[in-house]
């Protein structure tokens, strides 16, 4: 139980996530993706607002790999230089925590703004 709390505390330290990191995780939430697909997905999801460079993408992927939020995924038909990544259970759990946090903020903000307007 204590271990679980510690792990949760460690996760909470890394939240909130940056928008690029959040979008990368969301891109991997559905299925494993390789670098180029992630770039395009992030651009599409943010309606062109977040356009990552290759250097930025691989910096973020590196940190996520180091923190065990994502892992390399071996595709059956993978050509040279096309490495796919997928969320680990730990990464999925943290993504869910972040989504819950955002939901809470949104709910709170809606209530407060509505109170002010009355």
Distance CA 88, CA 13 (A): 19
Examine residue 104 and tell whether it contacts another protein (CB under 8 A): no
**From the CB of 90, what's the least distance to another protein, in Å?**
13
Closer by beta carbon to another protein, 45 or else 56: 56
Q: How many residues bind another protein (CB under 8 A)?
A: 32
Beta-carbon contacts of 51 under 8 Å, excluding residues fewer than 6 positions away, are 42, 43
**From the CB of 89, what's the least distance to another protein, in Å?**
17
Examine residue 95 and tell whether it contacts another protein (CB under 8 A): no
Residue carrying structure tokens 């730990």: 90
Judged by CB under 8 A, the stretch of 1-9, 53-61, 102-110 that binds another protein is 53-61
Distance CA 100, CA 87 (A): 18
Q: What are phi and psi of 72, to 5 degrees?
A: -75, 145
Examine residue 14 and tell whether it contacts another protein (CB under 8 A): yes
Distance CA 16, CA 106 (A): 14
Give residues in contact with another protein (CB under 8 A). Answer: 13-19, 21, 34-36, 39, 51-59, 61-64, 66-67, 69, 80-83
């Amino acid at each position: 139980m204590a271990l679980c709390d510690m792990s949760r505390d460690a996760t909470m330290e890394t939240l909130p996530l940056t928008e690029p990191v959040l979008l990368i995780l969301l891109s991997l939430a559905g299925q494993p993706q390789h670098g180029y697909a992630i770039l395009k997905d992030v651009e599409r999801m943010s309606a062109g607002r977040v356009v990552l460079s290759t250097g930025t993408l691989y910096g973020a992927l590196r940190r996520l790999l180091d923190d065990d939020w994502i892992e390399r995924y071996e595709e059956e038909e993978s050509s040279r230089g096309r490495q796919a990544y997928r969320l680990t259970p730990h990464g999925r759990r943290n993504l869910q925590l972040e989504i819950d946090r955002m939901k809470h903020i949104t709910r709170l903000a809606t209530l407060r703004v509505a109170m002010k307007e009355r």
